[in-house]
A and B are shown apart, each in its own frame.
Chain A
Amino acid sequence: MIRLSNVQKTYAARRGSDEHIALRGINLDIAAGEIVGVIGRSGAGKSTLIRCINLLETPTSGTVTVDGTNVTTLSKRDLPLFRRQLGMVFQHFNLLSSRTVFDNIALPLELAGATKADIAKAVDPLLPLVGLEEKRDRYPAELSGGQKQRVGIARALSSNPKVLLCDEVTSALDPETTRQILTLLKDINKRLGLTMVVITHEMAVVKALCDRVAVMDGGVIVEEGAVEGIFADPKHATTQSLLADEFMDFRAGSDANNPANNTGAATTATAGQEG
């Protein structure tokens, strides 16, 4: 579904900062329907990697192929059309404060020129899916963080994308809300068969959600494989230290809220409970 081949990204030097190589030859294959986690410390290049997939950043070299098309060569005119096939969810939600829940979710369809009837047909079923029927005509300012992220997820789904890109989507949420959002994402993956790329710095998120994981450090993927394998036998020092963080959390007694302990029970009923 998604293939990154030898992707390099160099941020040019600017006043006050030197040239910075954020990605140093990334190779990554993501199959259709798979949830792949990308984990690493701050500055490892995770966001840069995911932004290269929908070309919010243009790779300096290498190719990105999505659904068989080399998208790195797309023209400025074709780029928006390509991006409509991918949904993206953000750490800080990025909802329009001037639009209601419904109108936020409708935005991608509006941009694509859909009719009012088609928009309603696409958005109405998404509201119960993310548990927000009652908030349909509310503004983001009236929502909790978890509810805002549900809007963000529904918005990313409204144009019926094949791929969902998630950049630290639970990092601004408390542990309980994090658990609910991860449950929702897992549920969506099962129901809609969506391919997902999930950026995180928490192993617990990987454990709760992902089939496969790539560990990043200094702009390279240092270790990659099935989640169970990585957890059972971490080879690279970065992976080991990320796992140690989780263990510390566990020892500190926050395991009750640990997303890793709540992989199952993927129903929208529970997903809609949070207030």
Chain B
Amino acid sequence: MSEFAIDVHGLRKEFGGKIAVENVDLQLPKGEVWGFLGPNGSGKTTTIRMLSGLLSPTAGTGTALGYDILTESEEIKARMGYMTQKFSFWTDLTVRENLEFVARLHLIDDVASVVSATIRTLDLQDRQDQLAGTLSGGWQQRLALAAVTMHGPDLLLLDEPTSGVDPLARRDFWDQIHRMTEERNMTALVSTHYMDEAERCDQVVYMSRGRLVAKGTVAEMIANSGLVTFRADGPGVRKLMAALKRASGVEHVAYFGAALHVSGTDRSLIERTIGELRSQNIEWREVVPNLEDAFIALTQKAGVAGERSA
């Protein structure tokens, strides 16, 4: 049996001839939590759907929990929890009824007490008889998370599980994920657009235009991006934005409060540009690029590469 919870090669998905995901290789070790990042439309949801057996890949093979994703999806479904990006529980059932339905399908014995325990741990007691459709967005996300973890899955595939969830609930959520991975050697792949969540993961993969373009720990991702970032502070610094965007060596400029972050991969080019723009009341200093800078650089690089090959 493979030591990987997910082990897929060359996954590809076309929708009517249009390629959504291409050449995806992914080996996710058991017991780890991986972040899945990438801009809108890059193919994260499509990839997760292929891993869960919801979409059949146009090409590629692989296993999830040791079962073939093409032929043994029933086995995978029984041992997996998949949280959809869009809320997809039954809006005309109450919180409790939704959980009971899921518990019964998973053949959980003693449905009532398991559901009650789940409701307690997720702090849903006051809302258990409310129709799921009338819950606020954040509570819907919590219901969904409760429903997909109730049967004690070995693998969690979570598609933007914390979008719209408040910071406290997000922290609870991540604590819970890590607890489950430690207690039961569960594996999780979590797609997110939040950089702080990426930093909570053992590793992250980054998808762009249907391809996995980077993989590693957050520190590795930043280091591998080869990015140098300078921060400009001072009165009137924002007026430099337009000039900086056109300047050579500058790949990305971003507002950071009253300051600007200027990033590029060619150190000498960017230092020359800064030298030309230097004036007395603006202070320039080099900073460690953050994950967001690294990802934006990755996205732009992939964009250029994509255009070149097209």
Do chains A and B interact in one complex?
A: no
